């Protein structure tokens, strides 16, 4: 079994993007700018935002952080997003989810212009992805495609099974694999005979959110197994959706947790931001 090293791959990508960010700054007399909006005091969100800002700064991308209190009104949040949408120095806008319950996330996200939607969550970008047109795809599945590419794992004609159908992981993952000519099955909580479905996979993607859910008896000998999960085991330790200890005996390639898909998500956010800046200024 070969371990897929997401941490190292993400480091290489960040170094590549640092070159692109420097070239942009040289050509345009300003750095690429990513606006990050955090509303409220969700501790996990604070850690994610901190990591994203740190990665931006290390890559030469200017991060414009906006921290708003939990009591922020919908009108105040909308006003800020509108001003960021119009700001020419802002190339990408990221609204950290989840938002406090009284805010309408869908309405706020809809104010992000498609060309600044670096998370790839907008209906326009999702639609373009489904139509196999030029688009910004969601960072986590995009990072997985990049891992497959950099580890020379072919997708064309392969059977890919995605367990999970969320809008941010499972669904865009399935579309990206389909666009890369895999034969794709999407599984979810109502799927019958999940084990049989998984056993058919040449490439198995686990995006379920349940610790060690995918066990060795669900994995075909020699399958490529990608673990998106960020879960906690019985002892509170970070683990994935895949039972790493048993699945490693069967898989040909496997991503660890931590150090697999996680670091790629941030790397692809930076990638989407660079691409957004280059696209906007090329117009």
Shortest CB 204 distance to ligand NAP, Å: 12
**Near ligand NAP by CB under 6 A: residue from 96, 122, 125, 265:** 265
**Residue 76 among the catalytic residues:** no
Question: What is the side-by-side order of every strand in the sheet holding 92-95?
Answer: 62-68, 33-39, 92-95
Buried b (16+ CB within 10 A) or exposed e, 62-72: bbbebebeeeb
Which residue from 12, 26, 96, 10 is spatially nearest to 60, judged by alpha carbons? 26
Q: Between 204 and 228, name the residue whose CB sits nearer to ligand NAP.
A: 228
189 belongs to the binding site for ligand NAP (CB under 6 A): yes
Q: Which residue is nearest to ligand NAP (CB)?
A: 166
Question: Which lies closer to ligand NAP via its Cβ, residue 166 or residue 281?
Answer: 166
Q: Is 169 in the site for ligand NAP (CB under 6 A)?
A: yes
Smallest distance, Å, CB 46 to ligand NAP? 16
Q: Report how far residue 249's alpha carbon sits from residue 246's, in angstroms, rounded to the nearest whole number.
A: 6
Cis peptide before 168 (omega within 30 of 0): no
The set of residues, in sequence order, having a beta carbon less than 8 Å from that of 163 and lying 6+ positions away, is: 170, 187, 188, 194, 198, 204, 205, 206, 207, 208, 213, 214, 241
Q: Which residues pair with 185 in a beta bridge?
A: 161
- From the CB of 109, what's the least distance to ligand NAP, in Å? 15
Among 90, 99, 168, 276, interactor with ligand NAP by CB under 6 A? 168
Tell me the closest approach of the beta carbon of residue 64 to ligand NAP, in angstroms: 22
Q: Which two tokens stand for residue 255?
A: 């991503």
Instruction: Work out whether 154 is an interface residue with ligand NAP (CB under 6 A).
Output: no
Write each residue from 190 to 229 as x if it is in contact with ligand NAP (CB under 6 A), else as -, in one continuous string: xx--x------------xxxx-----------------xx
- Whether the CB-CB separation of 115 and 134 falls below 8 Å is answered with no
Q: How far, in whole angstroms, is CA 175 from its chain's centroid?
A: 14
Whether 96 sits among the annotated catalytic residues: the reply is: yes
Whether residue 230 contacts residue 256, with contact meaning beta carbons closer than 8 Å, is answered with: no
Annotated active-site residue in 5, 91, 117, 119: 119
Residue number, 171 or 220, with CB nearest to ligand NAP = 171
Which residues here bind ligand NAP, judged by CB under 6 A?
Answer: 140, 163-166, 168-170, 187-191, 194, 207-210, 228-231, 261-262, 265
């Amino acid at each position: 079994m070969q371990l897929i090293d997401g941490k190292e791959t993400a480091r290489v990508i960040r170094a590549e993007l640092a070159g692109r960010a420097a070239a942009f700054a040289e050509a345009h007399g300003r750095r690429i700018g990513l606006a990050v909006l955090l509303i409220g005091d969700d501790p996990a969100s604070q850690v994610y935002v901190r990591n994203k800002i740190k990665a931006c700064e290390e890559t030469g991308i200017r991060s414009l952080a906006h921290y708003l209190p939990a009591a922020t009104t919908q009108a105040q949040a909308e006003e800020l997003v509108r001003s960021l949408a119009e700001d020419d120095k802002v190339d990408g806008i990221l609204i950290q989810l989840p938002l406090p319950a009284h805010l309408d996330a869908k309405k706020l996200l809809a104010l992000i212009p498609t060309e600044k939607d670096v998370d790839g969550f907008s209906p326009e970008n999702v639609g373009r992805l489904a139509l196999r047109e030029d688009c910004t795809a969601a960072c986590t599945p995009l990072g997985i495609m990049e891992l497959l590419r950099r580890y020379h794992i072919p997708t064309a004609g392969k059977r890919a099974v995605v367990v999970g159908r969320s809008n941010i992981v499972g669904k865009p993952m399935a579309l990206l694999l389909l666009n890369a000519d895999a034969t794709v099955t999407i599984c979810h909580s109502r799927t019958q005979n999940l084990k049989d479905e998984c056993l058919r996979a040449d490439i198995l993607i686990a995006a379920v959110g349940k610790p060690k859910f995918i066990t060795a008896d669900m994995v075909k000998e020699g399958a490529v197994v990608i673990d998106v999960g960020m879960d906690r085991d019985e002892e509170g330790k970070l683990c994935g959706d895949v039972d790493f200890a048993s699945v490693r005996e069967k898989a040909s390639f496997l991503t660890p947790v931590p150090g697999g898909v996680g670091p790629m998500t941030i790397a692809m956010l930076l990638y989407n931001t660079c691409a957004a800046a280059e696209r906007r200024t090329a117009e």
